Amino acid sequence: MAKQQGKEEKKVKEYKPPKMCPKCNSRMAEHADRFTCGRCGYTEFKKK
């Protein structure tokens, strides 16, 4: 298949498995400065 001029290829992000909560073993949400578990409320802050 020939490439069309003027079209850029989309960059695909590499898959990163979610961080798991050490207390209740559910997935943690990733925020800008922390990881938070919605089930039990456990929070881990990211290092700068």
Is 80 exceeded by the pLDDT of residue 48?
Answer: no
Residue 19 burial (CB count, 10 A): 13
Tally of structural domains, the chain: 1
For residue 7, what pLDDT is reported?
Answer: 73
C-alpha span between 45 and 19 (Å, rounded): 13
Determine if the pTM surpasses 0.95: no
Residue 48 lies in a domain: yes
Residue 1, in any domain of the structure: no
Q: Is the pLDDT of residue 1 over 60?
A: no
For residue 8, tell me if it sits in a domain: no
For residue range 20-33, what is the model confidence (pLDDT) as tens digits?
999 999 999 999 99
Q: In which band, very low, low, confident or very high, does the pLDDT at 16 lie, cut at 50, 70 and 90?
A: confident
Q: Is residue 5 part of a domain?
A: no
In sequence order, the 6+-apart residues with CB closer than 8 A to the CB of 19 are 27, 28, 30, 35, 44
- Give the pLDDT score at 13: 85
Instruction: Print the domain residue range for 26.
Output: 20-48
